[in-house]
Amino acid sequence: MANPFPDATSIAESVRGREVSAKSVVAAALARIGEYNPRLNCFTTILADRALADAEAVDQAIAQGQDPGPLAGVPFGVKDLFDIAGVVTLAGSKINRDRPPATQDATLITRLKQAGAILVGAQNMDEYAYGFVTENSHYGPSRNPHDLHRITGGSSGGSVASVAAGMVPFSLGSDTNGSIRVPAALCGIFGLKPTYGRLSRAGTYPFVGSLDHLGPFTRSVRDLALIFDLLQGHDPADPVCTTRPPVPCLPELTKGIDGLRIAVADGYFAQGGEPEAFETVARVADALAAKQTITIPEAHRARAAAFIITACEGSNLHLQDLRQRPQDFDPATRDRFLAGALIPANWYLQAQRFRQWYRDRVRELFTQVDIILAPTVPCVAPLIGQTTWVLDGVEMLVRPNVGLFTQPLSFIGLPIVSIPLHRPGYLPLGVQVIGAPYQEASVLRVAAFLEAHGIASAPVPVIPNS
């Protein structure tokens, strides 16, 4: 049986080989979006005419003997905080509707278009990226393709659900405290949060400047590596974008895991979740023959410090609107921004001091191991509208706690792949494959090994009619 959701690599090969036209590929994607988006609510803007015209240009280039690039004719979407020329960058908000349209594409969109990819639209998210659920009061909730009554996770929920549902083979999102990894795990696809500063953020709406990352979502590891390779490279328009030369990851995928020292995170990362979340980690560890455990020190304090930095920097960006237009915010976002605006400055400074100490301690661990495994989320996707849950006997709020295993790691900018576990008949869960800074190739090697051995895979959802 043919794969109902071919990955970006295979689509591009078919387009370049003239087995199928880019225009027909994009038209099929738009048809799927037209069918599924009313049920899943992934896209806030659909660029049908523009996408078809761009696809025609790819077909014309191929007809003239030119190579449009490694993503020739592949449709993709982006979280609605990426600037798209001629489109207002909503960032999930009502307030941003009053802003003028973007005058040019974000850097990462430009790089993908140069590789032949076709942008089909912008995707739903938590307002201003402040959330883990993608239950947006302005644009409605995105729905999990595996169960329409459940959340996608967030804040990149629309981007993830669109890939999980096969509307597009890949998309781009952002990760400040877990917004790539959490929805990737809950919807059952691959998500890469690169090292902080590895990919340019130029042309994207910020949330927390000292924590924001961008990265891709895919259904295969080879797509993840290919897209990351195409996006790498210094961009002077982003002051934190690294000047390190790009290191191609795609050729590394065939190396396997020989020579990699792999350990499982214990302590904080082995408690506070449902048993199945930890069973998935154990299953991955067994497949990798990883017997060692390792303790990431003070992870609970790292999460607390990340909360403080997030609240302070996030609220500071919106102070004027909080004063003048408080009624136009999503209430959940507004209340957290208002709380952040009241945090004493010395708390923020102390959190940043702790961050440096914590970064140094975790980097010391990578002298002992190359890869650390941890759960991505504490349980499967909660129901839409669910406000509390009980984890490990403790009742807590859903919205801030879906990312309890991701937040202490994005806090120090480590490269991480969230891999979807092969769990037929069960809702998706994910495992974080964590590496030292700038070691994206290593985490992708592990992900590729797990995919090749049937441990990690992106399940195909059966999306009901209503």
Sequential pLDDT tens for the chain (466 residues): 357 899 999 999 999 999 999 999 999 999 999 999 999 999 999 999 999 999 999 999 999 999 999 999 999 999 999 999 999 999 999 999 999 999 999 999 999 999 999 999 999 999 999 999 999 999 999 999 999 999 999 999 999 999 999 999 999 999 999 999 999 999 999 999 999 999 999 999 999 999 999 999 999 999 999 999 999 999 999 999 999 999 999 999 999 999 999 999 999 999 999 999 999 999 999 999 999 999 999 999 999 999 999 999 999 999 999 999 999 999 999 999 999 999 999 999 999 999 999 999 999 999 999 999 999 999 999 999 999 999 989 999 999 999 999 999 999 999 999 999 999 999 999 999 999 999 999 999 999 999 999 999 999 998 877 6
> Is 466 one of the annotated active-site residues of the chain?
no
Measured CA distances, 119 to 83, 163, 172 (Å): 12, 14, 11
Distance, CA of 372 to CA of 353 (rounded, Å):
24
> Is 79 one of the annotated active-site residues of the chain?
yes
Domain 8-452 carries which CATH code? Answer: 3.90.1300.10
Distance, CA of 275 to CA of 282 (rounded, Å):
11
Token couple for 87: 């489109």
Please count the other Cβ atoms lying within 10 Å of the Cβ belonging to residue 203.
23
Domain boundaries, the chain: 8-452
pTM of the model: 0.98
- Catalytic site residue from 14, 155, 162, 171: 155
- Catalytic site residue from 156, 174, 179, 220: 179
- Catalytic site residue from 14, 23, 79, 457: 79
Nearest CA to 188 out of 371, 461, 463 is that of: 461
> Is 94 one of the annotated active-site residues of the chain?
no
Contacts of 28 (CB under 8 A, 6+ apart): none
